[in-house]
A = this chain, B = another copy of it.
Amino acid sequence: MSLRHAMLGLLTAGPASGYDLLKVFEISLNHVWPATQSQVYAELNRLAGAGLVKAAAEGPRGRKEYAITETGIAELRHWLTEVEPQRTHRFEALLRVFFLSELEPEQARTYLERQATAAEEDHAGLLELRESVSQGDDPLSLYGNIALEWGLRFTAMQREWADWAAERVASLNGLPAHPTAAAPPGGSPPSGAPPADPQADAPPAGRPA
């Protein structure tokens, strides 16, 4: 039940309405723990029923603000410290890789290259995000920055892996080499984007001691 705790966590920053929380989910939590409107409102009512949050104020258009209670904070802390995080994840993009042998090698390479592009776009988006919040008057909190850093490293890793994999598929199938990533339509090379892997044959992951 992570949704519940995500909402409790958001409410520690101050009272908010379902609508407010929804915005946060859409904007900043979307790639970490997506939630829909129906989930948020329903969970808010359950949370209130369980005494973990309480209605704090009523606003203009039927707006209802909720605040986290002491019980709610205790529950959040308990979750953070005592409950084991779930270890299994679902990676649809990776699942597909297992079955890429059903396609022609060139199609497989196309798929991997698309993954690389997508990862690079995500990476660029996060870099922008970092800039925009750094310029605000108060710097992102420590933990916000740590989470952002995770995103940067993850997207960089994805990009490098997909590039490596695409090249491997190509070279093992005698496909013509691609012109080392067609220059982006913008013109000058974007700085801050993770560079492609230098060599394609030696995976750098399981490093020697």
The total of chain A residues at the interface (CB under 8 A) is: 77
Query: Per-residue CB proximity of A139-183 to B under 8 Å, as 1/0?
Result: 001111011011011101100110011001100100000000000
Would you call A90 and B149 a contact (CB within 8 A)? no
Would you call B76 and A99 a contact (CB within 8 A)? yes
- Kindly provide the distance from the CB of A143 to the nearest chain B CB, expressed in whole angstroms: 5
Given A81-B111, A88-B34, A195-B207, the answer on whether A95 and B153 have CB atoms closer than 8 Å is no
Would you call A9 and B87 a contact (CB within 8 A)? no
Bound complex: CA A165 to CA B146 (Å): 6
Q: For residue A194, which residues in chain B have a CB less than 8 angstroms away from its CB?
A: 205-207
Q: For residue A60, which residues in chain B have a CB less than 8 angstroms away from its CB?
A: none
Tell me, yes or no, whether A12 is within 8 Å of chain B by CB. Answer: yes
Would you call A150 and B97 a contact (CB within 8 A)? yes
From the candidates B29, B33, B90, name the one contacting A32 in the complex (CB within 8 A).
B90
Would you call B143 and A101 a contact (CB within 8 A)? yes
Tell me, yes or no, whether A86 is within 8 Å of chain B by CB. Answer: yes
Tell me, yes or no, whether A51 is within 8 Å of chain B by CB. Answer: no
Task: Please list the residues of chain A having a beta carbon within 8 angstroms of any beta carbon in chain B.
Answer: 2, 5-6, 9, 12, 29-34, 73, 76-77, 79-81, 85-103, 107-108, 111, 115, 118, 123, 127, 130, 141-144, 146-147, 149-150, 152-154, 156-157, 160-161, 164-165, 168-169, 172, 189-195, 203, 205-209
